[in-house]
C-alpha cells in the first residue's frame, strides 16, 4: 500500500508499506482523506522536537471500515464511515485516573510520536473508532481539528451570559467560535486576516476585529461595556497573543491556552492576582468533543464546509501542497490528501 512519509526536513516521499493485518480487537480502515495540520507543517519544516524522522504524518482521518476483528462490537460494521480518536493513553497516569485521557502524560498522537494515518490502510483498536454517518468524506477529515476548539470551550466552561474572545481564526479557533456560539455566548473573533475574519463571522462570531488594522483594546472596551471579555481562548500559540489574553480578559475572567509558545512567555504576574484569573491549558480533545462536532455537522448542513478546505492533494502532490502552505501559512485552513 502507498503511504506519505516525511523523510527529512522539507523532504517528502510516497513509500510502499505492507498492508496491515488486524488483531482480534482491531478495525482495518480504508483511508478516504487525511488532513495536514500545523504539527505536520512543523515536522516538515524541521521544527517539531517530538518527531523522529522519518515519520508518516496525519491524524485528521476520514475513512471507511474495511474489516473488523473477532472481538469488535457488532455496532462497527464494514462500509461504515468513521473518524479516529488519534491519541493514545496509558490508563495509569494522573490524567487517565482522572478520566482526562486526552492529556495523558504518555500520549502518542498519530503522525507525531508514532507513525500516522497518511496511508491507504490503517489498523486501530476498535475503541478509537468514532462513527460519522451522514457526513461527506471530506468533512469527516475536519472533525478532529474542530474538536480541539470544542474542547477548549468546555475547558473554559462557557455559558450563554459570557462574552468570549477567540484569538486566532485558524481551523482550531473556528472550532472554538462554533462551540461558544452554540452555547449562546457572544463571540468576538480576532485575527490579522480579513478573509479568515469573514469566515469566522459566517461560522458564528458576532463581532470580528482585525488587530493589525484596529486598536484591539479600544474595540474590546467598546464591545464589552468597558469590562473586557469574560473568557479568552488563545488559539495562536505565541508570547504576544498570550500576553494579549492576560491583558484583555475581564477581572475574574477565564483564559484557555490551546496553542503554546515555542519559547518562554513572560507575564505581568500581578494581573493574575489582581484579576483573580483562571488560566487553563487545553490539550487535544475527548471522544465527547468529537461527537459534539459530528452532531453540529449533521444538524447544520449549510455551514460553509468547503471554505474550510484550502486544497485537496494526492499522495504524489502532497509535497507541493505542503510547500505552498509553508510559503503562506496564514492563508491555509486545511489541506486534505485523498486516497
Instruction: Report pLDDT digits (tens) over 143-159.
Output: 999 999 999 999 999 99
Q: What pLDDT, on the 0 to 100 scale, is given for residue 261?
A: 80
H/E element holding 254?
strand 254-257
Q: How confident is the model at residue 52 (pLDDT cuts 50, 70, 90)?
A: confident
Instruction: Decide if pLDDT at 61 tops 80.
Output: yes
**What residue has cell string 523523510?**
7
Nearest alpha carbon to residue 29 among 69, 63, 71, 78: 63
In this predicted structure, the answer to whether residue 49 has a pLDDT above a threshold of 90 is no
CA 116 to chain centre: 15
Radius of gyration of the chain (CA): 20
Closest by CA position to 178, among listed 84, 83, 293, 61: 293
Q: Is residue 54 reached through a cis peptide bond, with omega within 30 degrees of 0 on the bond before it?
A: yes
Q: What is the mean pLDDT of residues 243-259?
A: 96
User: Does the pLDDT of residue 36 top 90, yes or no?
Assistant: yes
Q: What is the pLDDT of residue 264?
A: 84
Bridge partners, 209 (sequence order):
190
Q: How far is CA 194 from the centre of its chain?
A: 21
Average pLDDT, the chain: 96
CB 188 within 8 A of CB 229: yes
pLDDT band at 267 (very low <50, low <70, confident <90, very high): confident
What is the mean pLDDT of the segment spanning 107-111?
95
Q: Which of 76, 45, 75, 41 is nearest to 60 (CA)?
A: 41
In the chain, the percentage of residues whose pLDDT exceeds 70 is 100
* pLDDT band, very low/low/confident/very high, at 270 (cuts 50, 70, 90): very high
* Nine-digit cell string for 315: 499522495
Q: What confidence score (pLDDT) does residue 303 get?
A: 96
Tens of pLDDT, residues 160-205 = 999 999 999 999 999 999 999 999 999 999 999 999 999 999 999 9
Kindly give the interhelix angle for 171-182 and 287-299, rounded to the nearest 10 degrees.
Answer: 80
Give the helix ranges, DSSP H, for the chain. 38-44, 94-97, 137-140, 143-156, 171-182, 194-202, 216-223, 239-248, 270-274, 287-299, 318-327
Q: Is-contact 75 82, C-beta < 8 A?
A: no
The SS3 of residue 29 is: strand
At residue 262, the pLDDT reads 76
- Cell, residue 325: 502552505
User: For residue range 279-297, what is the model confidence (pLDDT) as tens digits?
Assistant: 999 999 999 999 999 999 9
Q: β-strands 121-125, 26-36: how paired?
A: antiparallel
User: What is the grid cell recorded at 35?
Assistant: 488532513
pLDDT at 90: 96
Nearest to 165 by CA among 116, 233, 73: 233
pLDDT at position 259 = 84
Q: Which of 322, 335, 328, 324 is nearest to 43 (CA)?
A: 322
Provide the whole-model pTM.
0.96
Q: pLDDT digits over 308-329, tens only?
A: 999 999 999 999 999 999 998 8
The pLDDT value given to residue 198:
97
Give me the pLDDT at residue 127, please. Answer: 97
Amino acid at each position: 500500500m502507498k503511504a506519505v512519509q516525511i523523510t527529512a526536513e522539507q523532504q517528502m516521499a510516497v513509500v510502499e508499506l505492507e498492508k496491515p493485518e488486524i488483531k482480534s480487537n482491531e478495525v482495518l480502515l480504508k483511508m478516504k482523506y487525511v488532513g495536514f495540520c500545523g504539527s505536520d507543517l512543523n515536522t516538515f519544516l524541521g521544527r517539531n522536537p517530538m518527531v523522529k524522522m522519518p515519520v508518516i504524518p496525519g491524524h485528521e482521518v476520514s475513512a471507511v471500515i474495511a474489516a473488523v476483528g473477532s472481538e469488535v462490537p457488532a455496532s462497527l460494521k464494514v462500509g461504515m464511515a468513521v473518524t479516529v480518536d488519534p491519541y493514545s493513553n496509558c490508563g495509569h497516569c494522573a490524567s487517565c485516573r482522572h478520566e482526562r485521557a486526552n492529556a495523558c502524560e504518555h500520549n502518542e498522537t498519530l503522525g507525531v510520536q508514532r507513525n500516522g494515518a497518511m496511508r491507504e490502510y490503517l489498523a486501530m483498536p476498535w475503541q478509537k473508532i468514532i462513527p460519522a454517518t451522514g457526513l461527506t468524506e471530506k468533512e469527516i477529515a475536519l472533525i478532529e481539528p474542530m474538536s480541539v476548539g470544542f474542547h477548549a470551550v468546555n475547558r473554559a466552561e462557557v455559558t450563554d451570559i459570557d462574552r468570549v474572545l477567540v484569538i486566532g481564526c485558524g481551523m482550531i479557533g473556528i472550532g472554538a467560535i462554533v462551540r461558544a456560539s452554540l452555547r449562546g455566548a457572544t463571540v468576538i473573533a480576532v485575527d490579522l486576516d480579513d478573509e479568515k475574519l469573514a469566515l469566522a463571522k459566517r461560522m458564528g462570531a458576532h463581532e470580528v476585529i482585525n488587530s493589525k488594522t484596529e486598536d484591539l483594546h479600544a474595540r474590546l472596551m467598546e464591545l464589552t461595556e468597558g469590562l473586557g471579555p469574560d473568557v479568552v481562548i488563545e488559539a495562536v500559540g505565541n508570547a504576544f497573543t498570550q500576553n494579549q489574553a492576560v491583558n484583555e480578559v475581564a477581572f475574574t475572567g477565564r483564559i484557555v491556552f490551546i496553542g503554546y509558545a515555542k519559547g518562554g512567555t513572560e507575564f505581568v504576574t500581578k494581573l493574575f492576582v489582581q484579576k483573580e484569573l483562571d488560566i487553563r491549558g487545553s490539550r487535544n480533545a475527548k471522544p465527547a468533543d468529537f461527537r459534539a462536532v459530528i452532531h453540529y455537522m449533521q444538524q447544520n448542513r449549510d455551514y460553509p464546509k468547503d471554505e474550510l478546505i484550502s486544497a485537496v492533494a494526492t499522495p504524489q502532490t502532497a509535497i507541493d501542497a505542503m510547500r505552498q502552505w509553508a510559503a503562506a501559512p496564514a492563508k491555509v485552513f486545511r489541506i486534505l490528501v485523498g486516497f
